[in-house]
């Protein structure tokens, strides 16, 4: 644990490159090339973190101003994913989860139950939260750990299922997205995509960025779209000219910087991806292993940024009008792009489908986050993050995997047993579908 804690303390911009350098050397990339690839990815993630901090510095004040201006009367405060992850890792389950999930991942990889090696250790916090809630409900640490491991397994299966779509969208082979929240949205967005295919208006829609630019020219450019969205947010926030123009520039910068930073990450990942392909073709008859990465890698897709920004005012409206919702979206709202990033990939960049799916997903997020509020508030109070009187949650908690596992896990051993038994056929189904997707993907590439 001391060694793990030390490496985690280095931060993702150091830890992830170190892991990738090690992987590159194992795959026969050569020490210097592996070091170059790992450092390039690290530089990309530093740039991505700077862009994410721009979201925090630019959009969060606007969100706070909109909430204050319209006096939304909601009783449960969204304290944001950063604080929520801290609460999750501060629990008993959180202290045990990193080695437990890592060991499980290696075992599942060796037996062929998954193709993904999840090196996005910082996002194990989602599994820690689910396990902590089950522990809180049942009083059993083993059941809490079991719940965490089940969610980790579901995330790996979801990553396998969507891997080829992610690779095609991002432009890098051999990667997947097992991140705790993004992976949980794949089933919903996949089902919605099939429903949209039955609706002529949506099935025939070609409303992606290229289509917009072809129809309305420069008005479809990300810079112009970003400026328009920034201006709308500035008006809602009641900003003066100086504040408004700063917000507009910030939103435009977000639209432009994310794709540029992702390109740097891709530049570092491509040599590792090519080495992995050669290594597994040579030693394992072409067997694939995916490197599981953070969903931030997908934020460079223009549709994600456009829809993510549009969802900010839409989510505030939903929070007010939805009966039974108690959550005031605040801490996580500026990061709405993270909640819809997989919709962009599943819907192949279609803006209309992605915004519809984003709205439907946000409805679920608000209700699930409301349901988790009492449990999260108790965990947060125990960790010292908030006072015992406060009712808090995070949009980050509005995770359908968390909800299903916590509901069944709260039943005790019977519920956990049902989840384990259900995971086996799920894994077999994903393996079958993934193989079919792989064949289609190879045909496209060739």
Domain ranges of the chain: 84-293+300-445
Can you list the alpha helix ranges (DSSP code H) found in 181-301? Answer: 182-196, 200-203, 209-216, 222-237, 241-283
pTM metric for this prediction: 0.84
Do residues 262 and 297 lie in contact, with contact meaning Cβ atoms separated by under 8 Å? yes
pLDDT of residue 38: 87
pLDDT of residue 92: 87
Do residues 407 and 418 lie in contact, with contact meaning Cβ atoms separated by under 8 Å? no
Radius of gyration of the chain (CA): 21
Token reading at 237: 């926030």
- Where do we find the tokens 């295919």? 197
pLDDT of residue 85: 83
Q: Cα–Cα distance between 387 and 367 in angstroms, integer?
A: 23
- The sign of the CA dihedral 97, 99, 101, 102 is positive
pLDDT of residue 255: 76
pLDDT of residue 399: 93
pLDDT along the chain (446 residues), means of 10: 61 77 84 89 82 75 80 79 82 86 90 88 88 94 96 96 92 89 95 93 76 59 78 87 89 80 81 76 72 86 88 90 89 86 93 94 96 90 63 88 96 95 92 78 63
Q: Cα–Cα distance between 232 and 244 in angstroms, integer?
A: 9
pLDDT of residue 314: 92
Task: Give residue 46's Cα distance to chain centre.
Answer: 18
pLDDT of residue 407: 96
Q: Cα–Cα distance between 118 and 221 in angstroms, integer?
A: 35
pLDDT of residue 219: 54
């Amino acid at each position: 644990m001391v060694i793990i804690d030390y490496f985690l303390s280095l931060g993702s911009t150091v830890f992830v490159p170190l892991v990738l350098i090690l992987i590159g050397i194992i795959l026969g990339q050569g020490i210097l090339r592996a070091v170059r690839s790992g450092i390039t990815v690290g530089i990309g993630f530093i740039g991505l973190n700077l862009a994410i901090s721009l979201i925090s510095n630019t959009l969060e004040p606007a969100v706070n101003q909109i909430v204050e201006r319209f006096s939304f009367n909601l009783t449960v405060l969204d304290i944001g994913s950063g604080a929520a992850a801290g609460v999750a890792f501060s629990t008993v389950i959180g202290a045990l989860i990193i080695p437990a999930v890592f060991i499980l991942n290696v075992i599942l990889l060796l037996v062929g139950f998954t193709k993904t090696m999840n090196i996005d250790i910082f996002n194990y916090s989602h599994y820690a939260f689910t396990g902590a809630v089950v522990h809180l409900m049942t009083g059993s640490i083993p059941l809490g750990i079991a719940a965490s491991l089940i969610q980790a397994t579901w995330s790996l299966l979801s990553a396998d299922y969507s891997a080829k779509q992610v690779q095609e969208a991002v432009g890098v082979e051999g990667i997947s997205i097992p991140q705790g929240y993004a992976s949980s949205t794949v089933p919903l967005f996949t089902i919605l995509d099939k429903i949209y295919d039955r609706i002529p208006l949506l099935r025939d829609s070609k409303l992606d960025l290229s289509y917009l630019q072809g129809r309305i020219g420069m008005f479809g450019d990300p810079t112009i779209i970003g400026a328009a969205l920034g201006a709308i947010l500035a008006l809602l926030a009641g900003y003066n000219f100086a504040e408004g123009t700063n917000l507009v520039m910030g939103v435009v910068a977000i639209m432009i910087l994310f794709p540029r930073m992702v390109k740097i990450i891709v530049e570092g990942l491509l040599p590792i991806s090519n080495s992995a392909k050669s290594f597994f073709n040579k030693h394992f008859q072409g067997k694939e292993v995916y490197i599981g990465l953070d969903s931030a890698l997908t934020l460079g897709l223009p549709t994600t940024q456009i829809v993510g920004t549009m969802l900010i005012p839409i989510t505030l409206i939903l929070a007010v009008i939805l009966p039974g919702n108690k959550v005031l979206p605040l801490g996580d709202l500026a990061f709405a792009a993270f909640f819809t990033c997989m919709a962009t990939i599943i819907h192949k960049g279609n803006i209309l489908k992605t915004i519809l799916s984003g709205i439907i997903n946000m409805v679920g997020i608000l209700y699930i986050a409301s349901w988790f509020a009492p449990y999260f508030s108790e965990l947060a109070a125990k960790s010292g993050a908030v006072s015992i009187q406060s009712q808090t949650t995070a949009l980050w908690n509005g995770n359908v995997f968390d909800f299903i596992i916590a509901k069944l896990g709260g039943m005790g051993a019977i519920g956990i047993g049902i989840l384990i038994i259900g995971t086996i056929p799920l894994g077999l189904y994903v393996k079958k579908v993934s193989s079919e997707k792989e064949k289609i993907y190879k045909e496209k590439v060739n």
